[in-house]
Structure 1
């Protein structure tokens, strides 16, 4: 009975990861429509999109204080409900600043939920002794895929953005309510105790993180952000493929990330983290370099899919290492590693755009991925 309850808790936590992935990915396919309806310029849309980061990053850094006083399970429930229910605010916005405000609220909710669900996952691992974090992140990746595909379907059937967002909100709120009773009754674990209960952390890196863990988080999420934001343009514009192949490549990458993260815990149980990270670094750089040298759209599309198939465990390993670097302070360390990684995920791809204007996207893309792989390889030398 007890083991069944433990597994049931993990399944409901997986659903929360799914919700987190599905909300903002449901908005992404409707961006062109909302831009047109509000008659936004590119710069105005950029301001609105920055609202997600403007809301998320402060929330990431403040959530550890919330979890000093509250259990992660109830925080997951409340934030997932708010996150889902706030999605339709995008559809009713009629000015750039209203859209920006809605995206800031969604970004803040996403940031709090990100820390709370990762902290709950770390607490589960510490309580049971079984790895689960990569599998939980697989739920997030599947949510991203489901949200994006749902947006495509809603567009094809002619649903307005408001109708689409209301439908998504209802479904995700219902899913969260199904999971709520067990998550709410989660006991407080040692991993969730506040900083006052823990030994002093030796801070050898920014944000109180060991440098190697920061590098690992930045490198893993930077590659993910680069592929998500730039691979479709690279394949369609620079390699001459059709728009459908570009869209298919992104869907393939999301599916591959889901598979990779779902299998990541099993892989990490069988092989040392350093072995897995080294393999990821070597494989990813070889795939991207091969795709860049061959310069054929189908080859690059396959390479991107295979990158997703191996990249999945990297960020979950960074979160696990951060929690192990300061036992008893999982919330604070999860907040820090997520903030560092999230800044790279959001800020890295736009920076790549500026560089690509000077030397071209194919070279910039390959060089950025190679540099990130070097970061993952160097992180293998850090504490595991």
Structure 2
């Protein structure tokens, strides 16, 4: 039992590191936009670099994991992901920024699949829901990165100084907290839990449409809030840069709470009931904010969105792994690829739409579309 808990704890650290990297970048997006003199559409193009790097990596990693242990892939990609962050500070123009974000996206893509595959293997062979809790570690990492952004803006640290400090801390955390993952034997969770039955390898099947819609919808909303809420609060609603960073930190905190409690909630209530509640609450919050249009109301609404949104993507990943039990890595890769395409590719599209109809209207419309997708997919397979 101790070894099982230690395995889950090591996975939790990797999830935390994954969340902390891009969330450290998100609060500085308005400043980088200003320093590089980018329009909303140019910023959207640069942000698409993350998706351009991550989605191919997501699909390739499923094959890599046939030959490389998931623990080793976790450690290597976490180190690359963390160490590449300071390169944002030296980017000089839209295309250089896009190139750095592409590198970050590729490292993130490998890490996403490796850590989720290890988590699903653990969950399947122990019989305990842990995926939402582990994603809570990711959300806490996002919170830590966002709070670092608050501190950095308060003390006047440059983007380069801020990101160098974050990179050093995360590299040290990876080296200290996750080295045992490197030597973890293949199918570690199964061995530690005493499981001996190995499911036969099946021919890879396509991801069910309902699961894809659920993943896209949940991560579209999450990515939209992560990339654009700070700019919406500061520029469109006239708040300070600190309030913009605090808004993102509040969202990260409530996502952490939501995901940490998600396994207990899903053990008690049907997945379809949870998903319906999420969609109704989120769309009502966004509608309220659209009517009031005040920065403090926006900050509170964003926090409440995070408080209910957390379980959506873990449910999509669990459903995908259950749809073809013998192909957990492949199905995880597929659901992550389509989901993160929305998470990383959706916000750049928002930038182009915002140039035409305004950021506030685009933000509300995109959230409403995501909630509709959650409702449609709530009773999907898996």
TM range (shorter): 0.7 to 0.9
Asked if 1:383 is matched to 2:381, the reply is: yes
Secondary structure of the structure 2 residue equivalent to 1:172: helix
Return the alpha-carbon distance in structure 2 between the equivalents of residues 213 and 191 of structure 1: 25
Asked if 1:321 is matched to 2:319, the reply is: yes
How far has the Cα of 1:9 moved from its partner?
1.3
Secondary structure of the structure 2 residue equivalent to 1:329: helix
Show the 5 A alignment for 1:24-63. 24-31=22-29, 41-42=38-39, 47-63=45-61
How far has the Cα of 1:324 moved from its partner?
0.8
* TM-score, with length taken from structure 2: 0.87
Match of 2:150 among 149, 152, 171: 152
Higher relative contact order (CA 8 A, sep 6+): 2
Q: Hey, what does 1:273 align to over in structure 2?
A: 271
* TM-score, with length taken from structure 1: 0.87
Residues 188 and 306 of structure 1, relative CA distance in 2, 3 Å threshold: same
Residues 245 and 156 of structure 1, relative CA distance in 2, 3 Å threshold: closer
Contact 1:198/1:327 (8 A) holds in 2? no
Contact 1:191/1:328 (8 A) holds in 2? no
How far has the Cα of 1:293 moved from its partner?
3.3
Asked if 1:258 is matched to 2:256, the reply is: yes
Residues 153 and 294 of structure 1, relative CA distance in 2, 3 Å threshold: closer
Return the alpha-carbon distance in structure 2 between the equivalents of residues 41 and 362 of structure 1: 19
Q: Deviations over 1:125-153 (max 9, x none)?
A: 01211111111111111112212222332
Contiguous gaps of at least 5 residues in structure 1 = none
Between stretches 78-87 and 155-164, larger displacement belongs to 155-164
Contact 2:147/2:245 (8 A) holds in 1? no
Return the alpha-carbon distance in structure 1 between the equivalents of residues 358 and 99 of structure 2: 34
Show the 5 A alignment for 1:57-96. 57-93=55-91
Q: Deviations over 1:217-272 (max 9, x none)?
A: 01101111222333344445555555554443222111111111111111111112
Between stretches 122-131 and 230-239, larger displacement belongs to 230-239
Return the alpha-carbon distance in structure 2 between the equivalents of residues 22 and 78 of structure 1: 16
Q: Hey, what does 2:196 align to over in structure 1?
A: none
Q: Hey, what does 1:107 align to over in structure 2?
A: 105
How far has the Cα of 1:40 moved from its partner?
5.7
Residues 294 and 171 of structure 1, relative CA distance in 2, 3 Å threshold: closer
Asked if 1:216 is matched to 2:219, the reply is: no
Return the alpha-carbon distance in structure 1 between the equivalents of residues 228 and 97 of structure 2: 24
Query: How many residues of Structure 1 are paired with residues of Structure 2 in the alignment?
Result: 373
Contact 1:198/1:328 (8 A) holds in 2? yes
Q: Hey, what does 1:7 align to over in structure 2?
A: 5
Residues 22 and 374 of structure 1, relative CA distance in 2, 3 Å threshold: same
Return the alpha-carbon distance in structure 2 between the equivalents of residues 99 and 147 of structure 1: 19
Return the alpha-carbon distance in structure 2 between the equivalents of residues 113 and 161 of structure 1: 24
Return the alpha-carbon distance in structure 2 between the equivalents of residues 30 and 365 of structure 1: 19
Residues 300 and 168 of structure 1, relative CA distance in 2, 3 Å threshold: closer
Asked if 1:335 is matched to 2:333, the reply is: yes
Alignment RMSD: 2.8
How far has the Cα of 1:187 moved from its partner?
3.0
Match of 1:123 among 121, 128, 150: 121
